[in-house]
Amino acid sequence: MSLCLAAGRKNYSLAMTSDITIRPASEDERAELGELKLRSSLAWGDLNAELAQLPEGRQVPEEHLASVFLAERGGAILGFATVLASTGHDAELEDLFVEPGLWGQGIGRMLIAEAERRAVASGFRGLHVIANKRALPFYEAVGFSTIGTVETLFEPAPEMRKDVA
């Protein structure tokens, strides 16, 4: 089952988001989304050498494309999210990336709100994410709670969940 569901730092203002459109991603945007994913990941300054060598760190898998949606302004992609269906009661927030220079402007909140709306419409009760530890304050600010820790390729990461229904 595929979901086309509908990313940030402190000062989560929504003031500059009125001219932003949320829409599904298209095949011809995969490379641009992959580059945004890598830029956003590298902006934290952690594990940069490792991330730069990781092919999936700069790719949006073709099989996920139907579940990717993005935020854009004037034709420029500002951020995107990937939300996948799961076998349980929660949809999986697989990706959430915002252009680093735009962190804190409400784009992440918009993408989370769209993810929630679409998850509810698809019958899910919650959103689940394995978060970057640096993004923990953002996820907490938008209502996620830490439910555990998961070992990832590079380091342990917070496992988080949010009720949406």
Predicted confidence at residue 8, as pLDDT, reads: 33
Q: In this predicted model, which residue has the larger pLDDT, 5 or 21? A: 21
Taking residue 123's Cβ as centre, other Cβ atoms within 10 Å add up to 11
CA distance 64 to 121: 19
3-state secondary structure the chain: CCCCCCCCCCCCCCCCCCCCEEEECCHHHHHHHHHHHHHHHHCCCCCHHHHHHCHHHHCCCHHHHHHEEEEEECCEEEEEEEEECCCCCEEEEEEEEECHHHCCCCHHHHHHHHHHHHHHHCCCCEEEEECCHHHHHHHHHCCCEEEEEEECCCCEEEEEEEECC
Q: What is the pLDDT of residues 73-124, one digit of tens each?
A: 999 999 999 999 988 999 999 999 999 999 999 999 999 999 999 899 899 9
Q: Does residue 3 have a pLDDT over 80?
A: no
Residues 6+ apart with CB under 8 A from 125: 89, 90, 163, 164, 165
CA distance 27 to 70: 13
Q: What is the pLDDT of residues 26-82, one digit of tens each?
A: 999 999 999 999 999 889 888 777 777 777 778 899 999 999 999 999 999 999 999
| Predicted model pTM | 0.86
Answer whether 129's CB lies under 8 Å from 146's CB: no
Superfamily holding 21-163: Gcn5-related N-acetyltransferase (GNAT) (3.40.630.30)
Q: Does residue 10 have a pLDDT over 50?
A: no
Q: Does residue 4 have a pLDDT over 60?
A: no
Predicted confidence at residue 159, as pLDDT, reads: 97
